[in-house]
A and B are shown apart, each in its own frame.
Chain A
Amino acid sequence: MCLTILSNARFGWMFVTSQIIIIYVIFVLIQKRVESRRKR
């Protein structure tokens, strides 16, 4: 069911782009934390 929705072109695009943006933002936040911990 979930994949049927994902395979719909519009939802597929939303899934792929949101996955990229979310993971990128999370990674930037993680690396900032790592950086501040390292500086301390």
Chain B
Amino acid sequence: MKREVWKTHTGMILAMIGTEVGLGNIWRFPYLCGLHGGSAFLIPYLILLFGIGIFAMMAEWVIGRYSRKDPLGAFEKIGFPRGREVGAWGIIGPFFLYAYYIVITSWVLFFIIASFAGLYFGKDTQKFFLDFLSSPYIFLFHLAAVAITSSVLALGVQKGIERACKFMIPTLFILLIIVTIRSLTLPGASIGVEFYMRPRLGALLNPAAWIAALGQIFFSLSLGMGAVIIYGSYLKDEWEIPINAIACALGDTSAAILAGFAIFPAAFALGLGAAVSGSQSIGLTFFTLPLVFERMPAGFLFGGLFFLLLAFGALSSAISIQEPSIAWLDEEVGWKRKRSALFTGVILWLMGLPFILNGYVMGGLGEKLALLSKMDIIIGQLALPLFGFLAILGMGWVMKEKGFQELHKNARHKFGKWIRPWIRFVVPSATILIFILSLITVLEERGVIREILPQVQVREFIPLGIGPATVIMIILATGLVWGGCIFLATRAIITEKRKRRYVPDYIE
């Protein structure tokens, strides 16, 4: 059977933007801007986006298009050591990510209806949200969210994913512009614009701003999820990778910047500036923003539209993280696409149930989200950067020249010779840095060690304090990176020699 590719160039760009634009753009980027110097945050963000992020993304596009396989087959085809076992994570990792991501998507779907109907107006929004988690409706919305992504995927790459993204992504941008115009035209909106956009350059001296920018870029571009590899495998050969990857990264960034204009001016105009600028993710989306819509003229309409655009972003990302497993069943097991979509849909629905039941049975916000936040720490904060790092090594150190040839295939604009050391040394170092810093954050700030071993404090493990400990861990990690690279390089040389040694005479 002939493997599908994207039908049109526009469809491909929109599908790629669909994987990238998700909850992170809307519920985290504006918060980071507010925290790290307003518009000054764009300086580290854009420098690191064009210096590191797009190259990490191109590495996944290259692996995908070169192999024309699902992430598992791709890692094997490029010759990555133990490629099938490593690539298996490109199928299973997104599976776990989807399991809890779709739960959040189902909350967003409920809030579309809740906003249009004004269900939370005049109520304590946090209690309203917690009551929803304890209601039987949550099961219905969860099932609906899984059904939507599985149905789209059952239709295939061109008729399913491409067509859905061609509708969802432009609509998302139109809705975002509508909500932004409403927000900017409220009396007193200029205070919010000033808070969001006034550059506070002093914040750039804080390394936290640069680290936050790098982390946000990595997650926002959906790297390390297998999604970019599988979407890259549907690219046509005549489409040049460098320019298209840059276009997609810019599309993703523009959605993130616009989201800030939709949120901050309205929040400051309606007297909720402090609450909104201090909250992110679940708190911002489900407790604080509903308060903003409640106070806004025709807030039910704009609240509904806001949650609708958020749902489009979340669903298009969820579709891309369900796709690797369907592609694997389709291509390697030989199942029909509809059967694969149904099968993965049922498994993913079952995998999401523990998170739903956790919220349904328990009381209190922390207890209700206990399992979901733990899964997010392991998958979202630790496993994804690690897999993304392996993908970069795959292009730079395993594929080597073949990787760079694939990158420049049919490209009118080519990178100079600097691209080789850049992708082989600089980009993997930055990626492993994200992993190490995520690990430190998880251990230190999120109190993981304290939860597992209540009597032990993290600082007892690190007697010198977090500063020197960070430096030591970075040195160790750098050693690990180059150790891994040397291992991969020598392995490739050994395999090459073995192949030469065992060439039977009759072939020559």
> B354 and A31: CB pair below 8 A?
no
Residue from A3, A20, A32, A34 in contact with B362 in the complex, judged by beta carbons closer than 8 Å: A3
Q: How far is the CB of B73 from chain A (nearest CB, A)?
A: 10
Question: Please, which residues of chain B bring their CB within 8 A of the CB of A28?
Answer: 84-85, 88
Query: Is B445 part of the contact surface with A, judged by Cβ < 8 Å?
Result: no
> A17 and B332: CB pair below 8 A?
no
Number of A interface residues in the complex (CB < 8 A): 21
- B-side interface mostly: helix
Question: Please, which residues of chain A bring their CB within 8 A of the CB of B332?
Answer: 31, 34-35, 38
In chain A, what residue has the closest Cβ to B450? A9
- A-side interface mostly: helix
Question: Please, which residues of chain B bring their CB within 8 A of the CB of A17?
Answer: 378
> B88 and A9: CB pair below 8 A?
no
The total of interchain contacts (Cβ-Cβ below 8 angstroms) comes to 62
User: Chain B contact residues (Cβ within 8 angstroms of A): what range?
Assistant: 20 to 34
Residue from A16, A23, A31 in contact with B371 in the complex, judged by beta carbons closer than 8 Å: A16
Query: Is B133 part of the contact surface with A, judged by Cβ < 8 Å?
Result: no
> B451 and A10: CB pair below 8 A?
yes
> A6 and B89: CB pair below 8 A?
no
In chain B, what residue has the closest Cβ to A26? B92
Residue from A9, A15, A31 in contact with B451 in the complex, judged by beta carbons closer than 8 Å: A9
Q: Cα distance A3–B375 when bound, in Å?
A: 15
In chain B, what residue has the closest Cβ to A27? B92
Residue from A9, A13, A16, A34 in contact with B333 in the complex, judged by beta carbons closer than 8 Å: A34
Question: Please, which residues of chain B bring their CB within 8 A of the CB of A20?
Answer: 92, 96, 378-379
Q: How far is the CB of B23 from chain A (nearest CB, A)?
A: 20
Residue from A4, A9, A32 in contact with B452 in the complex, judged by beta carbons closer than 8 Å: A9
> A6 and B354: CB pair below 8 A?
yes
Given A3-B357, A15-B354, A27-B88, 10 more contacts at CB 8 Å? A3-B358, A4-B361, A6-B358, A7-B371, A12-B370, A13-B452, A23-B92, A24-B92, A31-B332, A32-B84
Binding site for A on B (CB under 8 A): 72, 84-85, 88-89, 91-92, 95-96, 328, 332-333, 354, 357-358, 361-362, 367, 370-371, 374-375, 378-379, 448, 451-452
